[in-house]
Chain A
Amino acid sequence: MHALAIHALRLGDDALILGQRLGEWCGHAPALEIDLSLANIALDCVGQATHFLALAGEIEGQGRDADRLAFHRDVMDFTNCLLVEQPNGDFAQTIARQFFFAHYQHLLFERMASVTDARFAAIAAKAVKETAYHAKLASEWVIRLGDGTDESRARMERGLDWMWRFTGEIFVMDEIDSAAIEAGAGVDKAALRPLWDARIGAALAEAALAPPAPHRPVLGGRTGRHSEHLGHLLSDMQFLQRAYPGATW
């Protein structure tokens, strides 16, 4: 597969898997208002995924569209980072994942909006407004849960601890990223790290939460080595297309 197609696929897979995870809250969130806000974010993510996966299919040129890529690939073909496939856990764990990922996505899309490849720039320019809100909302919740009751604080700490080890992977650069930058379609993710650290640190400080201790990052998602959680997510997400291939409505 062409490096740029893989580049688009990774961006699409990140958004798709996170969207599916957030969608799992639908009807189960702690309050009606939260149900709606998580579903809204999920839909933003699925929208981003649709654009990036369609672009991946277009660059690949094998006739696979966004649906084909979303519903007819198996675990090892998915290129999302491990962070987004982590289970929802309780609300605080979901917020921890959202907090870490949305700030990364926002920084990424801010820069990707001005790359020379107009296809990537256009998707990023639309997505950056969505992720700005996702990041702000996640920070607001981290602050409220962290600086809330003893229980909310303990849950927030557990959630951050669970997700932290998967944050290193999102800034790792490999040959696909280098090729994407060279082609004017990518962003230096490693350079985003200090900015991300500052934003994460500021919200944690306001939440009176200690920053998680450094941890050796867990890697593998970009090359298809996933946690067991992704298979269960896909069996849910892909069920209909697996049982009734090509079904439409």
Chain B
Amino acid sequence: MSDASKEWPLWEVFVRGKGGLSHRHVGSVHAADAQMALAHARDTYTRRMEGVSLWVLPSAQITASDPGEADALFAPAEDKVYRHPTFYTIPDNIKHI
């Protein structure tokens, strides 16, 4: 734990819950390489039948938006309610929508 450079790199873990669903981010694991990251992800995140498929990818490969820019990026969407398809009247007999 002392020398950070000797720590295993971090991997982000994505689990597909069942066929047809997309992989969902569930957390991260430390591992020395991709194969061990998959093993660790399996042992950490699929112990209770959570999934049928796993992805891992190096956390360092993720480019994240800057929280400081959150206003510039996301606030402008706040008053654009017309972008939500909520103005349609759905007939009562339509069940699966």
Chain A residues proximal to chain B, CB less than 8 Å: 31-34, 36-37, 40, 133, 137, 140, 144
Contacts and interface: CB of A to CB of B under 8 A. Distances in A.
B36 A140 contact: yes
Nearest to A37: B43
B30 interface: yes
A225 B30 CA distance: 42
Contacts of B36: 140, 144
Given A31-B8, A31-B30, A144-B32, A36 B39 contact: no
A58 B5 CA distance: 55
A33 B29 contact: yes
Nearest to A41: B43
Contact of A36 (B8, B32, B35, B43): B43
Contact of A140 (B8, B35, B47): B35
Given A31-B8, A31-B30, A40 B43 contact: yes
Contacts of A33: 29-31, 40, 43-44
Contacts of A37: 39-40, 43
Given A31-B8, A33-B31, A140-B35, A40 B47 contact: yes
Which 4 A-B residue pairings sit nearest by Cβ, starting from the closest?
A: A37-B43, A33-B40, A36-B43, A40-B43
Contacts of A40: 43, 47
Contact of A137 (B30, B39, B47): B39
B31 to A, nearest CB: 7
Nearest to B1: A31
Interface of B: 8, 29-33, 35-36, 39-40, 42-44, 47
25 contacts: A31-B30, A33-B29, A33-B30, A33-B31, A33-B40, A33-B43, A33-B44, A34-B40, A36-B40, A36-B43, A36-B44, A36-B47, A37-B39, A37-B40, A37-B43, A40-B43, A40-B47, A133-B42, A137-B39, A140-B35, A140-B36, A140-B39, A144-B32, A144-B33, A144-B36
Contacts of B30: 31-33
Nearest to B7: A31
Contacts of A31: 8, 30
B6 to A, nearest CB: 10
A32 B29 CA distance: 9
Contacts of A32: 30
Nearest to B8: A31
Given A34-B40, A36-B43, A133-B42, 14 more contacts: A31-B8, A33-B29, A33-B30, A33-B31, A33-B40, A36-B40, A40-B43, A137-B39, A140-B35, A140-B36, A140-B39, A144-B32, A144-B33, A144-B36
Nearest to B40: A33
A222 to B, nearest CB: 32
A33 B30 CA distance: 7
Contacts of A144: 32-33, 36
A133 B35 CA distance: 13
A160 to B, nearest CB: 20
B14 to A, nearest CB: 16
- Which has the most chain A C-beta neighbours within 10 Å: B30, B32, B39, B42? B39
Contacts of B32: 144
